[in-house]
A and B are shown apart, each in its own frame.
Chain A
């Protein structure tokens, strides 16, 4: 894959702290249960950085994305971007903020309005935010964005409706429409998971390429640790609405500190690198955000917990994210939420 060590300007484009999102009565089986979809999540993204959120289906990744986009109102917490707290603003202020943060969705077949031509879809952000002086100028900007997304020839493709395009082409249209306002941050929720395998690499390469050329940052969501490793500068592993480990991709993959990350990686080494396959390796019932276990939320499935003789603290104390110490070296940018990280080799 292409060069990804662009020197970031260290300017924070997004800072999320203690984000909590709860849904009421979300449980199918029981009435009026509270679903703790996001349960105290904090992270930062600097300019030009790609942060991957990795986790099993249902762990709250999309909910985090929706909260950052303010497509839903968080229960509590702060989402700071461009000097404003997105969690509390609304109306015009929110409208303005939306110019700086755009989103690419998982399903390119559903995310484009079937009645909008490519031209209409990609030029819509320009019209909303009143960018471009004339129709001609906007048209030229759309062509440029399509060219940037490698949709050639843009003059012809801009006339097409979504159903006339392949999945990969549609996702490029989504990318063009997200990039046309030169946003600081793009939230991409599993942008390749619904595409044919043959189209995936091209889309990922395009996204990384745009980061290098435009300096845009990504909150990149995936359930696939291998993809995260390839694409992201940093990875945050999410388990039941909480980040359980975070660090530079290289460090996290080579020296995982949390038993959950370790289990995922063990499974990955067996050939199939996807987390859904990895999750099968873990014992215990599938986690539910409607019934988060006491103490460490991972303890019912944790191999380490069994190995250590089921210590009381795992059942009673909720571990906080702590910086990993390894001998004398402390990696400030690598932390995990486990009472026993020191015991990890």
Chain B
């Protein structure tokens, strides 16, 4: 791997992270409506209480000082204190992150495989009935909001047929062994993961299809046919390998999309992850928690972009030797 490329991408990563962190600070500290005002809305707070709250949140310092304190705390792993949960933000986030990773991770793994498979199927018979069916279905699913797809699934699988649980991550008060517990979680996972998957696999299949269709008319495809390469090999070996770059790029963008989608899906299915946490924190105006969530989401997106840049280089011989 080209070291200069790596260093360049790494410094971009660092700068982007720094800017994001700073923007996050500005967003919550400069915009009107300080936490003290918000808390004091209920009217139970007198001037002294307000002053002590101001001090508690460190709002008595100048903006620049606040900024440095914010940076220092962050480096030390202190993201502040949640108003609603009355716990450190890191503790609140810690419980939610794992659940979101479980949901988004499961959905993503299936999404990527099914999406690429469908896209390849569609492209290898471009303009056939199969292609049209896949493309139209994908476009329809893609254009539906996540929560809408989720609600349809809730009605179909939960309300009408009662085959799957539609809320939460586990059945409360269930006393079974660890295996039973695991199965219970898996059952709860199916509908929210399916919702995320339907919407995003649709996107993947469209991107894969278009990248493949572009590549399939390239000259070396004709060369492969002339050599006598079987159609299956042409499609999966020659075409997909060359169409992989746009797919990798799409995966990077996808992480941003899927996190946005997770907010909707977790809310609809009451899945106790970061999405639900954001939704609740917005309702409660729990700014420190929101700040922490935004920060984690931003880091996830930035890190994915970095990984995809590196992957891009590994995949693309032209970049590699440039």
Contact = CB atoms under 8 A, between A and B. Distances in A.
Contact of B230 (A112, A128, A163): A128
Nearest to A69: B226
A113 B228 CA distance: 15
Contacts of A99: 228
A111 B219 contact: yes
A124 interface: yes
A124 B227 contact: yes
Nearest to A94: B228
Interface string B223-252: 111111110000000100110000000000
Nearest to B234: A113
Interface in A100-128: 102-103, 105, 107, 110-116, 124-125, 128
A110 B218 CA distance: 7
B242 A98 contact: no
B175 interface: no
**In which size bucket is the chain A interface?**
20 to 34
A110 B220 contact: yes
Interface in A314-331: none
Contact of B317 (A103, A115, A125): A115
A296 to B, nearest CB: 34
A125 B223 CA distance: 11
Contacts of B224: 113, 124
Interface string A178-205: 0000000000000000000000000000
A129 interface: yes
A116 B220 CA distance: 10
A312 interface: no
B219 A110 contact: yes
A71 B321 contact: no
Given A113-B223, A113-B224, A129-B228, A164 B242 contact: no
B226 A98 contact: yes
A251 B317 CA distance: 50
A245 B219 CA distance: 31
A313 interface: no
A177 B317 CA distance: 21
Contacts of B242: 113-115
A125 B220 CA distance: 14
Contacts of B311: none
B49 interface: no
B152 interface: no
Contacts of B321: 161, 163-164
Contacts of B318: 114, 163
A129 B230 CA distance: 10
A163 B322 CA distance: 10
Contacts of A75: none
Contacts of B226: 69, 71, 98, 102-103
A95 interface: yes
Contacts of A116: 238
Contact of B229 (A69, A111, A124, A164): A124
Given A113-B242, A128-B229, A71 B220 contact: no
Nearest to B219: A110
B222 interface: yes
B216 to A, nearest CB: 12
B228 A98 contact: yes
A71 B220 CA distance: 13
Interface string B300-322: 00000000000000000110010
Contacts of B219: 105, 107, 110-111
Given A98-B228, A114-B242, A163-B318, 13 more contacts: A98-B226, A98-B227, A103-B226, A105-B219, A110-B220, A111-B220, A112-B220, A114-B220, A115-B242, A116-B238, A128-B229, A164-B321, A177-B227
* Across the A-B interface, the 4 shortest Cβ-Cβ residue pairs: A110-B219, A98-B228, A113-B220, A103-B226
Interface of A: 69, 71, 95, 98-99, 102-103, 105, 107, 110-116, 124-125, 128-129, 161, 163-164, 174, 177
21 contacts: A69-B226, A71-B226, A98-B226, A102-B226, A103-B223, A103-B226, A111-B220, A111-B222, A113-B223, A113-B224, A113-B238, A114-B317, A114-B318, A115-B238, A124-B227, A124-B229, A125-B228, A128-B229, A128-B230, A163-B317, A164-B321
